[in-house]
Amino acid sequence: MGMPDSVAMERTRVRPQGEGDLLAYGTVILLAAVPIVAACWGAGLHTWDRWTKGWGSPLSAYVFAGALLLVWLAPLMAFERQDLRLRFARGWALTASSLLLIYALVFTRVPQLVSCELAAAALACTLLGLLPDKLRSRSWGISILLLLSMHVSTSVEFFVGYPLRFVSTWIAALMLGPMAQSFGTALTDGINVYQIDAPCSGVKMLTSALVMGAALSVLLRLRPRATLALVAAAGVIAVLGNAHRAATLFVIGAPETEVHAVIGIVVFIECALVLAGLGAFMKRRELRRLQRQRGAETSSPAGPRTIGLLGMACVLAALAPLLVFPVSNISAAEEVRVVWPETWQGHALQPLPLSEGVQKHLRGFPGQWAQFRVEGTGQTLLLRTCTAVTRDLHSAENCYLAMGGRCEARSSLRDADGHTWSRFSYIPPGGGRLEVRQCYFSISREARGGALEDWIQDAPSWPDISAWYWAAARPGSEVHTTLAVTVAE
């Protein structure tokens, strides 16, 4: 006797799928996102540079690949083996379309990182919108991973590197109690002063902790609120961990760089364990809440008009890099003709041409720059003047990394005039080694010719770019003309 058609259809609908079908479903989702990637080819080229250039980070590419891998594996992390019908949630499709339209309008007018983040956000909305409702509500960490994969470390270092050091120093002093006091970004025991330099700001620890928090939220299938809470907690844990590292180094006497690295690894492992434990706690709490309230999670599918709008947005995004818009220089500097100094510490300065790599990196810089050989010393001097508070006044490491090779951080140096210089070693691709130090000075507009030490002797100074930025950007700042001095020998 035959089975009723309605019963047969119901059994077909709830039939569990095998892993092969589920992975194929994830593959279809990734293929459906290809038009978004193709539309944002301009941002893709920028992103490739941010991953592969000397000043970039291949780790960001690994984060991007990891986010796509989690999307591919997302069906396997479903609570139930259910029929996974491919459909695009209407709200997410509209959000992706809006982001692509904004991307097309501002591509030539904003910094590269902004356009890359808009493209990453559009891609995240597309991937999440294609996931089933139940999976999407537990996969928001994927979008955070995609945003972090655009190599944000350099920008984070510029904008919040100094505040991170300041907060870490203050917390470290609280941890040490009467053993130490903090002032600015330094710790003192009343006799010795220990500077927390820019490489110890904790930016790498912070970004790594955020990546781990986002990945954990996906693996633990946390809902949006718990995801945001876990990622925020990851940031707090990273700051506390960096303060712990600073306090430990203070107690043991701030030894050589190798010990710094070992202590940093140990502290990060501690932070990772705390974060994993917090994630497990949030998961248990969420499961208890889900047992009390069971509700259907549904969203409206995108219709032909919504898909058509998304397609139109993709076309405009693809054309945006080919269009020419008048670009406004947001950080325009005043045009001031510089008469460069003639001597440095009693030695004549001989002008030198800049290498092609440095010239390329300084192209578009809102100010003036020149390079000199300090006769009789073997030193090379790079001078840059700027009259604007701008991201383009970057660290000297970026100039050297643009030429290839690598940079190794060293402890800061305080000169006889009380100026603190940040230092690093540069190892060129062909071998050898350069010792480089840099400092940023607020100089008088009238400084012309003469000796360089007269320009900077009593000038306010900052050892790193983030400290300079916060001093120059605050309301009522008296920093008008900045001189960046880089000495290599």
User: pLDDT digit string (tens) for 439-478?
Assistant: 999 988 777 888 899 899 889 999 999 999 999 988 888 8
* Range list of β-strands (E), 180-248: 181-183, 186-188, 193-195
DSSP annotation of 482: E
User: pLDDT digit string (tens) for 363-400?
Assistant: 667 788 889 999 988 899 999 998 888 888 888 888 78
Low-confidence ranges of the chain (pLDDT < 70): 1-20, 78-84, 254-257, 292-298, 324-336, 357-358, 360-364
Q: What is the pLDDT of residue 127?
A: 93
User: pLDDT digit string (tens) for 312-331?
Assistant: 999 999 998 887 554 444 34
- Alpha helix positions (H), 293-436: 304-319, 356-362, 396-401
Residues 6 or more apart whose CB falls under 8 angstroms from that of 151 comprise 47, 50, 51, 56, 57, 60
Q: What is the pLDDT of residue 2?
A: 47
169, HSE (Cβ side, Cα atoms, 13 Å): 22
Per-domain boundaries in the chain: 14-322, 343-488
